[in-house]
Amino acid sequence: MSTSAPTSAMDSVLVASEPVPEGTHEVRGVDFDKFQGRDITVAELVENLTHTGFQGSAVAEAARIINDMRAYRNPETGAKTTIFLGYTSNLISSGLRDTLRYLVKHNHVSAIVTTAGGVEEDLIKCLAPTYLGSFTTPGAGLRAKGLNRIGNLLVPNNNYCAFEDWVIPILDQMLEEQEAAKRKALETGDEEDELHWTPSRITERLGREINNEDSVLYWAARNNIPVFCPALTDGSLGDMLYFHTFKSSPQRLRVDIVDDVRRINTMAVRAARAGMIILGGGVVKHHIANACLMRNGAEHAVYINTAQEFDGSDAGARPDEAVSWGKIKSDANAVKVYAEATVVFPSSWRLRLRELRLRQKPRLRQCSSVKGMQGSGVTRREIYQSGRSGLYLSPCSLFSFLSLFSFPPLHVASLLHKLCV
């Protein structure tokens, strides 16, 4: 009997490795032993997440890219990144609506692209609540009760009846304004007097009409952030427009989608720098990417969705596919996070340096007069430059990030207690 393993087996198993390229990072996670008795800084947590691997690294990369989008200033003009935010309707149905509203309220994005559901669900929530249900509740039973299921969310059918009661009079008024402008144009012979409703003008009007600070559209209208909806008719709002054609016959409300595509494409062309943050896929993802094609690609891109690319879907496509089309620049900072947006996006955005709770360090001078920074005591420049050593994570932000890991709850509570003491 041989006492030596076959040479072929040894050669197959014990293949010699080539040297690892210089600068390659070793995989390491968060070692909380290092933080016993002291606070954990944002820089330390992000660095450990960056080197964790898998989607942990992707989340950290998304946060870094969002930081870069927000920090950029054109050296000559001071212009900021034009940030296009895209999200699907289900995210407005979920509690992520509150995060999206916060971003719009505080002018952290430049333009929005969403679906019809992303418009109507925001408005409907101002009229009646959406409830938490279960993914497994049988559809037939819900239908009999007049309850509509969105994943594990429940929307009573009465909510849509309330929406109809609210929106139809507004459509009536919009039609009156359209017809009055048409008559004026005939009298003056000036086509400029005609009123052209576009999806973004409609969303602005609805945002002003709802007059509710819980609404994303309300803040978008107030802050002059356009909300583009190329699929405006694909939802309950489309149903209302359909019913309205019978009510207003023979007159019809006219909606011009060409004006809107020119508007969003022009925003991209004129941007000093363009960034895409896209939650979900489909029309919102492609509409933003196609606008950025007009400028030969965006400089920054963050995709967050669960779609896979093996079926050739637009939602599943990675950023590199968009590079081949000229929708993302070849040297862009881009990442796709394979995760469900309600879990990942609030945590990713909370990493933005300007939004973190700061513990002031002696080396940072007071500058409470800087616009938008009241109470922080630091300048924007100091915030951006101190990101690697001087920022500390608030307990809420830390808990949000720890929720991404299978970390023992008692250890989380202990760590949060240390931060709060």
What residues contact 93, with CB distance under 8 A and at least 6 apart? 117, 121, 130, 150, 153, 155
CA nearest to 118, candidates 279, 344, 268, 241: 279
Q: What is the C-alpha to C-alpha distance for residues 45 and 50, in angstroms, rounded to an integer?
A: 9
* CA angle centred on 139, ends 135 and 145, rounded to 5°: 115
327 included as an active-site residue: yes
Catalytic residue among 125, 285, 327, 336: 327
**Do 257 and 228 contact (CB within 8 A), yes or no?**
no
The β-bridge partners of 45 are: none
For 256, the token pair is: 């011009």
Q: What is the C-alpha to C-alpha distance for residues 14 and 7, in angstroms, rounded to an integer?
A: 10
- Map residue 79 onto helix, strand or coil: coil
Residues in the chain, total: 421
CA nearest to 223, candidates 208, 238, 240, 210: 208
**Do 300 and 268 contact (CB within 8 A), yes or no?**
no
Q: What is the C-alpha to C-alpha distance for residues 36 and 201, in angstroms, rounded to an integer?
A: 54
Q: Phi/psi at 141 (nearest 5 deg)?
A: -65, -40
| End-to-end Cα distance, the chain | 69
Q: Is 275 left (phi over 0), alpha (psi -120 to 50) or beta?
A: beta
Report in angstroms the alpha-carbon separations of 398 from 26, 47, 175.
24, 14, 50
**Do 46 and 60 contact (CB within 8 A), yes or no?**
yes
For 276, the token pair is: 């895409």
Which residues are the active-site residues? Answer: 327
